[in-house]
Amino acid sequence: MYYVYIIQSVNVPDKFYTGFSEDVFGRLEDHNSGKSVYTNKFKPWKLLYYSAFLDKKKALAFEAYLKTASGRAFRNKRLI
């Protein structure tokens, strides 16, 4: 399975991160342990949403969409 996930900073609640992984919970641990350069400064993170895909290309396309302006609007209105 392939996952697209959205996490939110606990300390800076207006900071969100959208990502892709084959292990969403392991990836959340990585974000919270400081292994990601971008997310390190906003940790700790909490998982708000994830979606599972059988097709890697579809998962990556959905992640890319969520990172666009219209995708962020969709995220804010429908997912979180």
Looking at residues 39-45, what average pLDDT do you find?
96
Q: What is the predicted pLDDT for the residue at 6?
A: 98
Domains in the chain: boundaries = 2-79
DSSP secondary structure of 10-50? SSSTT-EEEEEES-HHHHHHHHHHT-SHHHHTT--EEEEEE
Looking at residues 1-28, what average pLDDT do you find?
97
CATH number of 2-79: 3.40.1440.10
| Confidence class for position 75, pLDDT limits 50, 70, 90 | very high
Kindly report, residue by residue over 47-67, the tens digit of the pLDDT: 999 999 999 999 999 999 999
Residue type, 51: S
| Confidence class for position 23, pLDDT limits 50, 70, 90 | very high
